[in-house]
Amino acid sequence: MSGVELPRSAPEAQGIPSSAVLAFVQAAEQSALELHSFMLLRHGHVVAEGWWAPYAPEHPHMLFSLSKSFTSTAVGLAVAEGRLSVDDPVLPFFPEDAPAEVSENLAAMRVRHLLSMSTGHAEDTTERLHTCEDGNWVRAFLARPVAYAPGTHFLYNSGASYMLSAIVQRLAGVPLLEYLRPRLFAPLGIESPTWETCPRGINTGGWGLSVRTEDIARFGQLYLQKGMWQGARILPEAWVDEATSAQITNGSRPDSDWEQGYGYQFWRCRHGAYRGDGAFGQFCVVMPAQDAVLAITSGVQDMQAVLNLAWEHLLPAMGPAPLPGGPAEPLARRLAGLRLRAPQGQPSSPLAASVSGREYVFAENEQKVEAISIRFDTDGCVLTVRDPRGEHQVECGTSAWVMGATTLDSPTLRPVAAAGAWAAEDTYVLKLAFYETPFTPTLSFRFTADGVVFTFKANAGFGPTERPALQGRLA
């Protein structure tokens, strides 16, 4: 049945020494690469899996651009149903949103150019979509100048992926998520996926999908099996081959996994592999020669470093035949004990009683922080931050994760785990793990005689990861 868990196996039974997987995990931690989960499949069996608590198997994780590979799959299914062809021009799908003057390059843009990131644009259109005043992202995309002949230039362009989602919705009459639910998600046993939408109710396509780590692994296994799942054909083999083959060149550096060619919303990798990936280290890596799939969620800035560890430790360890029973117990023990590193320090400080519950106010600042207070007790603390949206609270454990939810840094309530410790007598450090996302920021509070210095540092981000320090004074 589709909902049944993937079969589990010892690594040795599938030709991989446990020591190689252990070395991969140890290398990631020693390199300070913040992995959140991984699952390694060989010959259709899960041979190793781990979650760095408070991340856990049952929680979904934001995929960012790994969503694109699911969008590509929807297009493949629509092609198989005869709804469209990859050679269809883009413009006729949206005649009402066409610009007054249609350039020759825009008229020449085909679905295959959206799929292969070769639309001819000179810059990513995504920011223009977000900032268009009427919320009509399709019109905003079609209004952008197309500098080059489509098919001639590679440019990573999430707006192109959004347009694929818009096309599927236009043809099927339902959003991408609903289109995929009976055709992909239900057969694979992917339960409760969510996908962000644009202001007009179209799934964003290029980002915004959240699923569990095992769901990523199932998706990779479907592609490894050329579109077959438990004896049933889910996706045409021809589409799998086409989507995962290099459709356009995107560089020539032999040591970069971002310059091995690009398919239909899939990247080619070194070592004959291919992948879907998303910002900050969300990976679905398919290794056909090794009959293996590697699913990873993480919160890293250096995504190449994560792939390098897989190529160094996992790929060369995959042998052609089962191995005699190896030292599986050290690996099992390590995987069961994975923890995101909490702040290190003392559970209390002589200062704690004098600053507990006191409010510190801040002059107007770009971070919109108006006031902060921390109420300390024997088990941890409660942080309260006030900004123009109101007050936001986080309950925090002492060097141990406490699960909760908060509206801090988010317009809606979202799950969070928090842990803190006194790094020095005057400095309290608190770490937040928004465990359905890649983000685990660290907040530091250095107390002075009549104030506090507050700093916020992110583990990963599209811009600067450290915000300017803010000086607060006692209210």
pLDDT in tens, 154-200: 999 999 999 999 999 999 999 999 999 999 999 999 999 999 999 99
Looking at residue 325, what is its pLDDT?
A: 79
Tell whether the model's pLDDT for residue 326 goes beyond 90: no
352-474 fold: Lipocalin (2.40.128)
Residue type, 239: W
Range 306-310 average pLDDT = 98
Rounded CA separation 307/258 (Å) = 11
Tell whether the model's pLDDT for residue 3 goes beyond 80: no
Q: How many CA atoms lie within 13 A of 189 on its CB side?
A: 15
Looking at residue 421, what is its pLDDT?
A: 96
Tokens 């019109």 found at:
139
Tell whether the model's pLDDT for residue 327 goes beyond 70: no
pLDDT in tens, 384-443: 999 999 999 999 999 789 999 999 988 999 999 999 999 999 999 999 999 999 999 999
pLDDT in tens, 45-81: 999 999 999 999 999 999 999 999 999 999 999 999 9
Q: What is the pTM of this model?
A: 0.97
Dihedral Cα 111, 267, 318, 19, nearest 10 deg: -130
Rounded CA separation 282/306 (Å) = 10
Q: What are the boundaries of each domain within the chain?
A: 352-474
Alpha helices in 303-393 (DSSP H): 303-309, 328-336, 352-355
Burial profile 438-469: b = 16 or more Cβ within 10 angstroms, e = fewer: bbbbbbbbbbeeeebbbbbebbbbeeeeebee
Tokens 């200062």 found at:
351
Q: What share of the chain is helix, strand, coil (3-state, %, to 5)?
A: 30, 25, 45
